[in-house]
Structure 1
Amino acid sequence: MSDNKKKTGEPDRSLINTSEKYEMEYWTKKFSVSPQQLTGAVRAVGSNAKDVEKYLKDKNDK
């Protein structure tokens, strides 16, 4: 689902949109992962940033 550029207001920082380049750059840097790892995590647990962060952390701890 793409961002609605006409919708103004506070952005939802708790969701990850892998279709937007700037979001991919931000989240891959924040979680220190590759774009492929981030995309895989979003596919596995959904776009909620907290869920993705937990998934990536749990996966790296193994």
Structure 2
Amino acid sequence: MSLAIYKTNEKNSFLIFGYIIFIFSFTKLLFTSLTIVGSVIFVYGYLNFRLKIYLAKPKIIK
């Protein structure tokens, strides 16, 4: 149960982080280079999250 809550909170934090990056890039408040770095960090974080979900799945041993 706690693991499911942890996954939900982690996904929500990624969504919030991506929303902040979108607002910054949309209003041009940050330099383009910083926006690119932020986007790369968000993509890396999301892929790391998906990898954790994949590794958390039970493996079928034959």
Ranked by relative contact order (alpha carbons within 8 Å, sequence separation 6 or more), the top structure is 2
Q: Which has the higher helix share?
A: 2
What TM-score do you get using the length of structure 1 for normalisation?
0.29
What TM-score do you get using the length of structure 2 for normalisation?
0.29
Compare CA radii of gyration and give the structure with the larger one: 2
